[in-house]
Amino acid sequence: MKLFVALAIAGIALSLVQSAGAQSRPPNELPMYGGIAKTPAMIAADKKFIADIEAKGESRTSASDKEVALGWRYFIERQDAATAMKRFNQAWLLDQNNGDAYHGMAIVVFQRDNDASASELLFKRALAAPRSAPNAGVDYGRFLLMQKRPRDAVLVLEQAVRRPGVAPDAQALLALTYRDLGDWPKSCAAAKAVRPVQPVLKAEIDTVLQDRKCR
- Name the amino acid, one letter, at 139: D
Same domain, 161 and 84: no
Q: Which of 133, 149, 164 represents a domain boundary (last residue)?
A: 133
Q: Which of 115, 133, 151 represents a domain boundary (last residue)?
A: 133
DSSP code, position 135 = T
Q: How many separate domains does the chain show?
A: 2
**pLDDT, position 151:** 97
DSSP letters for 8-51 = H---HHHHHHTSTTGGGS-GGGSGGGGG----HHHHHHHHHHHH
- Name the amino acid, one letter, at 204: E
**pLDDT, position 15:** 46
pLDDT (tens, 9 = 90+) of the chain, 215 residues, equals 444 444 443 344 434 444 545 558 999 999 999 998 889 999 999 999 999 999 999 999 999 999 999 999 999 999 999 999 999 999 999 999 999 999 999 999 999 999 999 999 999 999 999 999 999 999 999 999 999 999 999 999 999 999 999 999 999 999 999 999 999 999 999 999 999 888 889 999 999 999 999 98
Q: Which of 98, 133, 168 represents a domain boundary (last residue)?
A: 133
Same domain, 196 and 97: no
CB-based contact 141:121 (threshold 8 Å): no
Q: Note down the domain range covering 166.
A: 136-215
CB-based contact 71:85 (threshold 8 Å): yes
- Name the amino acid, one letter, at 78: R
Enter the pTM of the model.
Answer: 0.88
43, containing H or E segment:
helix 40-55
Same domain, 125 and 143: no
